[in-house]
Amino acid sequence: MIRLLFLVGLLLVALASPAAAHTVKAGADLRVAQTIAGAELTLVIKATTRVPGPLRVEVVGFPTAPELGLRLRSMTDGRVVQGSVAPGRPAELRVEETGPHELTVSAGGETSVIPFRVLVDRGSGWEFLIYGGLFVAGLLLVGGLLTGAFNRRGRSAFVVTAVAAAGVAVAALIVVMEPWLPAGAPDGAEPRPTDSALGRPYIQRVVSTIPVRPAAGEEFVARVELFDGSTGRPVDDLALHHEAMAHLVVTSEDGRYFRHVHPLRTAPGRMEVRLRADRPGRYLAYVELERTDSGGQLLTGEFTVTGTATSTDPPDPAPRQAAGTVTVTPSVPQAGRAATIEVATNGTPRPWLGMAGHLIVRGQDGGFLGHVHERGTPSSRLRFTFSFPAPGRYLAWAQYATERGITTVPFTVEVPR
Ligand SMILES: [Cu+2]
């Protein structure tokens, strides 16, 4: 009997489909980084436990965030509720049903529309077997006791009790194995695509600026338009990746200018962010994002800034090496071998984009961009493991957040032949 139960258990595990990695779990908060009104912030859409009910929205600023206007729209029936949120002052928006919604966030004349789903856990479904097993066991135990009382030879009582024990065993087995059993989709979940084995095509992108040739010192819009590589239609099924719809890294060719920002979704398949560059020249843009059912992608683009320099930055990029702050081990890293990079922090880091620290590394000519994370607990030293792919000169930026905001530590690394 025990063997049979184990076989049943193994079969259940084997049949369990692997959990979809990027599906937002019911009961989990949704965290979305946005660069809006000159502020870097994370919007937190708290998990809902019941519908109809309140949907709590919070905002965390790095270091501060403006008040954000909120507009929540149900894509099922078009119902709209409005509110506002500021750091330390959460919003509670009433939701009437599970399923697709859009949260429109506005500040400083900028607007971002964040699509998401309200999910409510409807239980695993395995509870039926657990309680069913216990119910049958209870029933049969009573039957067994009665049979035993009236039947001297006790044989049928033994059989009845054995079946009862089996019921308890099934219930117990499922209680123990429940974490590995396939869970029922929560209420409001996206229907699973039938062709998911094939995946969706990669994204094609167009990186542009408005105006086309921004002037040094003037604000401009960097725009990333995303198209399906197969149909050419706008891609509007981005999965949240490291707490953002898209991460945009913009650097000047010489690496003195560096921005890591989180563009706003201004239309389906269109991401925009306001930037300002202080010197003319060629700028390189990198977009990290992930398409649902397609995987992570790094898209690149470039644009040119005109006019005259407005910055008083040192003309030589050499002083960017922050002495004593960054330690590379071995001190002369070898191509293709893991190196350890330690960064001393100024202040206690707090999680930003789900990590204690970020390290972004660009090849001198811009042909390579790497991004790794510090995964440990935030402390006064961040430690990264990075493998430089080939000999050459690399421009690197370590980033972490403290109470004072986001600190970027630029440095360079030479990898000899
Ligand atoms: Cu980012």
CA–centroid distance, residue 263 to ligand 1 (Å): 9
172: phi then psi, degrees, rounded to nearest 5: -65, -40
The reported pLDDT for the residue numbered 259 is 96
Residue 215 has what pLDDT? 96
The two domains 203-305 and 318-415 share their CATH topology (first three levels equal): yes
Q: How far is the CA of 127 from the centre of ligand 1 (A)?
A: 40
pLDDT for the residue numbered 14 = 41
- For the chain, the structural domain boundaries read 2-20+123-180, 30-118, 203-305, 318-415
pLDDT at 316 (0 to 100): 46
Q: How remote is the CA of residue 135 from the centroid of ligand 1, in Å? A: 52
Q: How far is the CA of 132 from the centre of ligand 1 (A)?
A: 48
Higher pLDDT, 104 or 347: 104
What percentage of the chain carries pLDDT values higher than 90? 59
By C-alpha distance, which of 165, 173, 179 is closest to 130?
Answer: 173
Report pLDDT for 18.
36
Whether the upstream peptide bond of residue 211 has omega within 30° of 0, thus cis, is yes
Using DSSP's 3-state secondary structure scheme, residue 384 falls into strand
Pairwise CA distance, residues 67 & 89, whole Å: 9
Q: Is pLDDT above 90 for 258?
A: yes
For 79-128, the pLDDT digits (tens) are 999 999 999 999 999 999 999 999 999 999 999 999 999 988 776 555 66
What is the pLDDT, as a whole number, of residue 1? Answer: 57
Q: What architecture is the 30-118 domain classified under in CATH? A: Sandwich (2.60)
**Is pLDDT at 407 greater than 90 in this prediction?**
yes
Confidence of residue 4 (pLDDT cuts 50, 70, 90): low
Instruction: Tell me the per-residue pLDDT of 7-52, one tens digit each, with 9 for 90 and over.
Output: 544 444 444 433 333 445 667 899 999 999 999 999 999 998 888 9
- How far, in Å, from the CA of 35 to the mean position of ligand 1? 10
How many angstroms separate the alpha carbon of residue 195 from the centre of ligand 1? 30
- Identify whether the C-beta of residue 51 lies closer than 8 Å to the C-beta of residue 58: no
Report CA(374)–ligand 1 centroid distance (Å).
Answer: 14
- Cα 189 to middle of ligand 1, angstroms: 26
- Residue 225 Cα, ligand 1 centroid: separation in angstroms? 18
Query: Which pLDDT value is given to residue 317?
Result: 43
- From ligand 1's centre to the CA of 288, what distance in Å? 8
Neighbours of 231 (CB within 10 A): 9
Of 180 and 47, more confident: 47
More confident residue, 260 or 295: 260
Q: What's the confidence (pLDDT) of residue 20?
A: 35
Distance between Cα 249 and ligand 1 center (Å) = 8
What percentage of the chain reaches a pLDDT higher than 70?
78
In Å, how far from its chain's centre is CA 135? 42
Torsion from C-alpha of 417, 395, 262, 297, nearest 10 degrees: -10
Q: 111 CA to middle of ligand 1, Å? A: 19
Ligand 1 mean position, distance from CA 257 (Å)? 16
Q: What is the pLDDT of residue 129?
A: 66
Would you state the pLDDT for residue 319? 43
What pLDDT shows up at residue 25? 62
Residue 16 CA, ligand 1 centroid: distance in Å = 34
- Residue 169 CA to ligand 1 center (angstroms) comes to 49
Q: What is the pLDDT of residue 2?
A: 57
CA 247 to ligand 1 center in whole angstroms: 4
Protein residues within 5 Å, CB atom, of ion ligand 1: 247
> What pLDDT does 103 receive?
97
Ligand 1 centroid to residue 323 C-alpha, Å: 26
Q: Which CATH class is domain 203-305?
A: mainly beta
What does the pLDDT read at residue 178? Answer: 66
How far is ligand 1, taken at its centre, from the CA of residue 137, in Å? 54
Whether the predicted pLDDT of 413 surpasses 60: yes
**pLDDT for 197 beyond 80:** no
pLDDT of residue 12: 44
* pLDDT tens string 299-331: 999 999 999 998 665 544 444 455 568 999 999
Q: Which residues, other chains included, contact 35 with Cβ-Cβ below 8 Å and sequence gap of 6+? A: 41, 261, 262, 263, 264, 273, 274
Q: How far is the CA of 9 from the centre of ligand 1 (A)?
A: 42
**What's the rounded mean pLDDT across residues 164-189?**
72
Distance 62 CA to ligand 1 centre (A): 13
What is the rounded CA–CA span in Å between residue 351 and residue 401?
7
Predicted confidence (pLDDT) at residue 265 exceeds the cutoff of 60: yes
Q: Which CATH class is domain 318-415?
A: mainly beta
At 164 the pLDDT is: 73
241 CA → ligand 1 middle, Å? 9
Q: How many angstroms is it from 123 CA to the middle of ligand 1? A: 34
Q: Are strands 357-363 and 39-45 parallel, antiparallel or unpaired?
A: unpaired
Q: What confidence tens digit (pLDDT) does each residue in 208-239 have?
A: 999 999 999 999 999 999 998 888 899 998 99
Mean of all residue pLDDT scores within the chain: 84
**Ligand 1 center to residue 32 CA distance, Å?**
10
Look at residue 149 and tell me whether its pLDDT is greater than 90. Answer: no
Pairing of strands 281-291, 270-276: unpaired
Q: Which backbone phi and psi does 165 adopt, to 5 degrees?
A: -60, -40
